[in-house]
Structure formats: structure tokens, C-alpha cells
Amino acid sequence: MEIKFIKNIKIMTNINDEYYYFGALTAGGTYADTTIIKGAAQEDEGDYIENPYTMEYKISNYSKGKLADTHPGILVSDAIAEKLQGLKNVQLIPATIKDKKEVVHEGYNFVNNYNTLDVCDMDASKHNYDDFIEAISMFEKIVLKDDLSKIPLEERLMFKVKYADGVHFIHQSIMEKIQETNPQSAFFIKVSEYGKGQYW
């Protein structure tokens, strides 16, 4: 719990109110379930990728209309990528998506988020740990440590938690910037409110 003073009024703030889970909807008219065709040095996943080439994805499930702005992976449109530009330990790699008619859609980016922080309160959180993959397979509830607030803000605007590689968190200020683009199929869940029927 962080304490802030505004005009001599003490206000208790919860670090879990500042962060959102950032993902893509798994259903909808413009959602595309993508499968990777060509990666950018997958053996380097989790780190900065030197001299990456354009990543290629194909659609396995897609309805008519404009392609969504976010897809699992995590793939985002140029508009969203612009809002993520310059974030610490976040690399944007150009990507394309090929639909069922073999039409290639450009203007996408793979978000290589290698900013992994050990800031999950494992005792307060509820999760399933998969011994086979040596990682958390699902969160039923997640609680971030108060120690997160001690890390300079510019170093925690977007990050992943240890043991949950595919779970991306963004600060409220970044979420608001992304919302300015009116993104299709993107969704955000405040960490402090997570657990009401949603699972990661």
C-alpha cells in the first residue's frame, strides 16, 4: 500500500489499482485466431531480438470485416504500437497476417515484452502451477507486491510477472493511451478487480 499526500490529505493507494491485464478478446466478428508461420528468432524469446525480420502469421478463424487491432501472441496494430513505442524492455517487431483468401495484411507488430519482474505476491494470489512447463498455467486471482511502487515508473509501464510469461500488464497511463485509438478486440482488466469470473 502506497501513501500519497494531496494538499495535506493522506490518501492510501493500492498498486493493484494502477495496473491492467492487457489482452485480446477470444471471440467476435473481427477477431482472428492467428498461428505463427515465421518467427523472429524464437530461440531468443524472452530477450531482445537482434536484427529481427518481419514475423508472419496466418488466420485460422476469421469473420468478415476489418481485422482486429489486437490478437493473441501478442500482436497489435500500428496505432497501438505507436502508444507502446519507447517503453523499457519492450520491442516492437513488424508482422503480417495472411487471411484465408491468401491476402496479406500489413500494419501489425509483435510485442516482444521481455520486461519480466518478480512482483507477484504468490501467497495472496490464487493460481495453478504446471510442473511440466515450469510456469503458471492459469491465475484465478493475482495480487502485485507493494514493492512494485519502489521501481521507477518508466521501468514498469509494461511488464510480465515471473512464472507467467504470457500475461502482460500495463500501467493505467498506457491503457488510457491505447484506448484513444478505439481498438477492436482489445480488453483490459484492472488487477484489483480481477477474479470475478475471468481467468488468465
Q: DSSP E strands: which ranges in the chain? A: 2-6, 9-13, 19-24, 32-38, 55-62, 70-71, 75-77, 90-98, 104-113, 116-117, 126-130, 135-141, 158-161, 164-171, 186-190
Residue 25 pLDDT grade (very low, low, confident, very high; cuts 50, 70, 90): confident
Q: Given this model, what pLDDT does residue 6 score?
A: 38
Taking a C-beta distance cutoff of 8 angstroms, is the pair 9, 154 a contact?
Answer: no
Ranked by mean pLDDT, the top range of 64-68, 124-128, 182-186 is 182-186
CA 140, CA 29: separation in Å to the nearest integer?
Answer: 27
CA 92, CA 49: separation in Å to the nearest integer?
Answer: 10
pLDDT over 50 at 27, yes or no: no
In a domain, 144, yes or no: no
Cell of 191: 488487477
pLDDT over 90 at 149, yes or no: yes
In a domain, 87, yes or no: yes
pLDDT over 70 at 28, yes or no: no
The sign of the dihedral angle between the CA atoms of 55, 87, 150, 198 is negative
Range of the domain at 34: 10-117+153-192
In a domain, 141, yes or no: no
Taking a C-beta distance cutoff of 8 angstroms, is the pair 40, 110 a contact?
Answer: yes
pLDDT over 50 at 43, yes or no: no
Return left, alpha or beta for 11; rule: phi > 0 is left, psi -120 to 50 is alpha, else beta. beta
For the chain, what is the domain count? Answer: 1
Higher-pLDDT residue of 35 and 70 is 70
In a domain, 176, yes or no: yes
State what percent of residues in the chain have pLDDT above 90. Answer: 42
Q: Find the range with the poorest average confidence among 6-15, 48-57, 109-118, 190-199.
A: 6-15
Q: What share of the chain is helix, strand, coil (3-state, %, to 5)?
A: 15, 45, 40
In a domain, 181, yes or no: yes
Taking a C-beta distance cutoff of 8 angstroms, is the pair 73, 112 a contact?
Answer: no
Q: Given this model, what pLDDT does residue 5 score?
A: 38
In a domain, 130, yes or no: no
Cis bond upstream, residue 15 (ω within 30):
no
In a domain, 129, yes or no: no
In a domain, 1, yes or no: no
